Copies of this chain bind each other. A is one copy, B any other.
Amino acid sequence: MINYNYGTGEWKNWILEETAFNKNTLGKCESIMCLANGYMGVRSATEESYIKETRNCFVAGTFNKASKYEVTELPNVADVLNMAITINGEDFTLTEGEIRHYSRRMNLKQGELSRDIIWVSPKGDEVAFKFRRVVSMKQLHTIAQSVSMKALNKDLQISLYSSIDGKVTNEGAQHYTIESVRFYEHKLLQLVETTTQSGIDFVVNTTHTFYKDHAPFMPGQVMASGVRSIGCHYTLTLEKGQDLTLEKVSSIHTSRDQEWDKPDYQLDDLKKASMTYLKEEAAKGYRGILNESAHYWEKHIWDRYSIDIQGNADYDSLAVRFAIYHINSMTPRHDNRMNIAAKGLSGPGYKGHYFWDTEIFVLPFFTFSNQDVARSLLEYRYLSLKGAHDKAKANGYEGAQFPWESAWLDDGEVTPEWGGQDPISGEMVKIWSGFIEQHITADIAYATWQYYQVTQDQDFMDRYGYELIFDTAKFWASRLEWNNDAQVYHINDVVGPDEYKEHIDNNAFTNYLAHWNMELAIEYYDTVKANNMDLFKKLNKKLDLEATYQRWKDRLDKVYLPQPNEDNIIPQNDTYLGLKEIDLTKYKAQDNVGSLFKDYTLKQVNQMKVSKQADVMMLFYLLEDRFDQALKQINFDYYEPLTLHDSSLSLAIHAILANDLNHPEMAYTLFRKATEIDMGTNMQTSDHGIHMAAQGGLWQSMISGFGGMRMLGGRLLIHPRLPKHWDRLVYPIYWKGNRLDITVTHQEVKVVNVTMKDPEIAITICGKDYVLKEELTVQIDAE
């Protein structure tokens, strides 16, 4: 029911289409066609309501904790999309009558959602509907809808109820009290609601404009306020052949918006300003709002990040655009107090929380593409250091222990303590990640380092970066546990990236990254002390650096780094290799993520040799120069068959490694599977929202995988391996302020420095070192 080939000409490989209505799989397109602009995300529920819909609107960063039993989450904002349409007395709903034509489309290039339907009511009234919708990328508070109806075979009595509906909840949790609902100037609707715990005011406005046969027109209007809602009933007659267009323009502002989050904030000021804003936006009309937004997409996203694949690559082109669309629309680029949620702003899954998904999966896109946004995302971590300090302290550690899940700056750890019931035993399942999935602290340090290497943003490092590196390394030094028998430091009782193994000792990924983090801190200590004494003094005072440095030095070489065993397998942790194996054929074969839990409890899975996701492979990817190709190959062959890829973080990393190991077909197969995590034809993939890490991973498997682009030890590497059916891949990266356009074919690599900030750039292509001036072309030897 998903068609990837709708677009032609200018729109080729830009449009995702749903070709049939299915009331049972609404979640799919609600998520994958979600409209967002970083400020807010509006899940693509339809104007008319269906039983199984999920009607969500989230504004980034507006967390609220509904009760002591629940963790903080992004509250579902009052719904402005709804319209109940009645045609000659019958409700417009696709579960009744006949659908003569159906096409719902997401135009990724313009960020516009369209729905074209020819519907015949049960009584036989034939109507052509055109629904259009945009969330402006330019004007962050604007949602615009255009709804057209044409009477095809009869005159129609149309009645329509459209409202701001504050009755929506987060799956039953109501986060707001209604401050007021008002109706102004006979056309402006306003609902003001305030979150119950965090006290954030939301001002939601909407207004309606009608056209009949394109001429302005005013139908009968009756304002109707209800419980937690305010709306208007409209009634009109449409003669056969006439068409009606309704434009509904809505705005959302909150007291958490940077311009309002200040001491002299007054709700009344916000109400007034938001109404002025709405009027200005509405005056542009739907088309004006769309054009403004599309122009922004063109200029600031597609021109900047364009990826071009030639060959048999239509689907792949669409998939990478899909990834870039979601990465950009779900990232709160406007505010460094916010980050990228695991499901973006597209659904209730993971409650809008931030994970390592940002630093390891999505952030590299921005690090290599848009320094400002990448910096803002890292600044978020710096601004949330208090929670990290609190967490370390509460656990008896020093320095910054970043929460596994983060929300508002000072919330600290927000991972829920309990998940659902175990379906077999009926007992509550404890979520251990918040307690012992600790590698995120090193992941943040890694991303900070990566950002610095790629951008050379010294200002960032001086203000935030060094401190992040030192503070995280300080945590690790305190986290180490001396093992007297082995005379080394262990890191025990953790969860590594592979979450099917809880309470394990010496997770290879965690130990290596912790070691790396301390090692980097030692290097940067020396650098800062040598080059910037003021900063050194400041940080020394703040972090007790000199004493900590001594500890790093004392302990670094004694950190236990799991080594290959006699079979050259790096043990994922101390016990993994001794676990019992089971036949995974049926779980590997199934499309159904998590199918293992139909047969086993998590406790049992903990005792089985099976992995949820990349773990040792993650280590190979992040610290690629520490392990040789042969070792990587042996371990890939060992671990991949044990890995169910039940996490959306797994496939893309495996695709990259398969490419590194020169298995381009396998790499492509894994890449293709990764594209299907959200965009695939399975209609059950994305009910709770899209998988942001998977989208970030897709970009990486495209650019760092097939495109072969890496930063290694501060140096730019390009070692591409295109899938056979691709002829050419063109992609841009931003390297130390230079835009480099990279063209890869099966024969050669061409790099053009478009901006020429630096006259010369050191670069390694297919293993040989070069100096890039304006342009460089290198032939690829057959491997």
Residues of A with Cβ closer than 8 Å to B? 23-24, 49-51, 66-70, 91, 93, 95-96, 166-169, 171-174, 177-184, 186, 196, 222-230, 348, 420-421, 423-424, 426, 428, 598
Give every chain B residue within 8 A of A171 (Cβ-Cβ): 167, 226-228
Q: Do residues A186 and B426 form an inter-chain contact, with CB atoms below 8 A? A: yes
Cβ contacts under 8 Å, A196 to chain B: 67
Tell me, in angstroms, the Cα distance from A344 to B314 when the chains sit together. Answer: 63
A299 to B227, CA, bound (A): 41
Question: Is the pair B423, A223 in contact by a Cβ cutoff of 8 Å?
Answer: yes
- Cβ of A366 to closest chain B Cβ, rounded Å: 32
**Are A598 and B173 in contact (CB-based, < 8 A)?**
no
Residues of B close to A93: CB separation below 8 A:
51, 95
Chain B residues within 8 Å of A180, by CB: 428
Set B69, B174, B598: member contacting A179, Cβ < 8 A: B69
Q: List 30 A-B contacts (CB under 8 A).
A: A23-B91, A24-B91, A50-B51, A51-B51, A51-B93, A66-B177, A67-B177, A68-B177, A69-B178, A69-B179, A95-B95, A95-B96, A166-B172, A167-B171, A167-B172, A168-B172, A169-B172, A169-B174, A171-B226, A171-B227, A172-B174, A172-B227, A172-B228, A173-B227, A182-B426, A182-B428, A183-B426, A222-B598, A223-B421, A225-B420
Partner of A169, one of B50, B169, B225: B169
Cβ-closest 3 pairs across A and B: A167-B172, A183-B426, A67-B177
Q: Of all chain B residues, which has the CB nearest A183?
A: B426
Report how far A766 CA is from B766 CA in the complex, Å: 114
Q: How far does the alpha carbon of A24 sit from the alpha carbon of B92 in the complex, in Å?
A: 12
From the candidates B167, B169, B226, B598, name the one contacting A420 in the complex (CB within 8 A): B226
Return the contact of A177 from the options B69, B168, B229, B421 (Cβ within 8 A).
B69
Set of chain B residues within 8 Å of A229, measured between Cβ atoms: 172
Q: Determine the distance from Cα of A180 to Cα of B183 in the docked complex, in whole angstroms.
A: 41
Pairwise interchain contact B226-A66, C-beta atoms closer than 8 A: no
Q: Name A178's closest neighbour in chain B (CB-CB).
A: B69
Chain B residues with CB below 8 A from A51, complex form: 49-51, 93
CB contact under 8 A between A426 and B174, given known A49-B51, A67-B196: no
In the complex, A49→B51 CA distance in Å? Answer: 7
The docked-state distance in angstroms from the alpha carbon of A96 to that of B178 is 36
Most chain B CB within a 10 A radius of its CB, from A49, A225, A229: A225
Query: Given contacts A69-B179, A169-B174, could you give 18 more A-B pairs where the C-beta distance is less than 8 Å?
Result: A24-B91, A49-B51, A51-B93, A67-B196, A69-B177, A69-B178, A168-B172, A169-B169, A171-B226, A172-B174, A172-B228, A173-B174, A181-B420, A182-B421, A184-B426, A222-B423, A223-B423, A225-B421
* Complex CA–CA separation, A181 to B181 (angstroms): 36
User: Closest B-chain residue to A68, C-beta based?
Assistant: B177
Q: Which chain B residue has the least Cβ–Cβ distance from A598?
A: B222
Cβ of A316 to closest chain B Cβ, rounded Å: 33
Output the residue of A91, A420, A424, A426 with the most chain B CB within 10 A: A426
Nearest chain B residue, comparing its CB with the CB of A421: B225
A310 CA / B174 CA spacing, docked (Å): 53
Question: Nearest Cβ in chain B — how far from A226, in angstroms?
Answer: 7
Nearest-neighbour CB distance to chain B for A341, whole angstroms, equals 17
Report A635 CB to chain B, min CB distance, Å. Answer: 36
Contact B423 A224 (CB under 8 A): yes
Nearest-Cβ distance from residue A81 to partner chain B, whole angstroms? 15
Please state if A174 and B177 are interface contacts (CB–CB under 8 Å): no
| Residues of B with C-beta under 8 A to A426 | 182-184, 186, 223
- Name A421's contact: one of B70, B181, B598 (CB within 8 Å): B181
For A69, list chain B residues within 8 Å (CB): 177-179
The residues of B that contact A225 with a CB separation of less than 8 Å are 420-421, 423
Closest to A424 in B: B223
Q: Which residue of A69, A70, A172 has the most chain B CB atoms within 10 A of its CB atom?
A: A172
Residues of B close to A67: CB separation below 8 A: 177, 196
Expressed in whole angstroms, the minimum distance between the Cβ of A467 and any Cβ of chain B is 38
A752 vs B24: C-alpha distance when bound (angstroms): 64
Nearest chain B residue, comparing its CB with the CB of A186: B426
Q: Is the CB of B167 within 8 A of A228?
A: no
A564: shortest Cβ distance to chain B, in Å?
42
- Residues of B near A50 (CB, < 8 A) are 51
List of B residues within 8 angstroms of A181 by Cβ:
420-421
A177 touches B70 (CB 8 A): yes
Residues of chain B contacted by A224 (CB below 8 angstroms): 420, 423
Q: In the complex, A173→B176 CA distance in Å?
A: 8
A230–B226 alpha-carbon span in the complex (Å): 31
Q: What's the Cα separation between A58 and B149 when bound, in Å?
A: 42
Give the chain B neighbours of A178 by CB distance below 8 A. 69-70
Contacts of A174 in B (CB 8 A): 66, 169, 172-174
Instruction: Give the residues in chain B near A228, CB-CB below 8 Å.
Output: 171-173
Q: Measured between C-beta atoms, what is the minimum distance from A95 to chain B in Å?
A: 6
| Interchain nearest-CB distance for A90 vs B (Å) | 9
> How far, in whole Å, are A546 and B493 apart by their CA atoms in the complex?
78
Return chain B residues, CB-CB under 8 Å to A428.
180, 182
Task: Specify which chain B residues have a CB less than 8 angstroms from the CB of A91 in the assembled complex.
Answer: 23-24
Residues of B within 8 A of A230 (CB): 421
A60 to chain B, nearest CB (A): 21
- Give A595 Cβ to nearest chain B Cβ, in Å: 12
Most buried by B among A68, A168, A183: A183
| Closest CB in chain B relative to A68 CB, distance in Å | 7
Give the shortest distance, in Å, between A173 (CB) and chain B (any CB): 6
User: Please, which residues of chain B bring their CB within 8 A of the CB of A95?
Assistant: 93, 95-96
Residues of B within 8 A of A183 (CB): 421, 426
Set of chain B residues within 8 Å of A169, measured between Cβ atoms: 167, 169, 172, 174
Instruction: List residues of chain B with CB within 8 A of the CB of A70.
Output: 177-178
Q: How far is the CA of A226 from the CA of B179 in the complex (A)?
A: 31
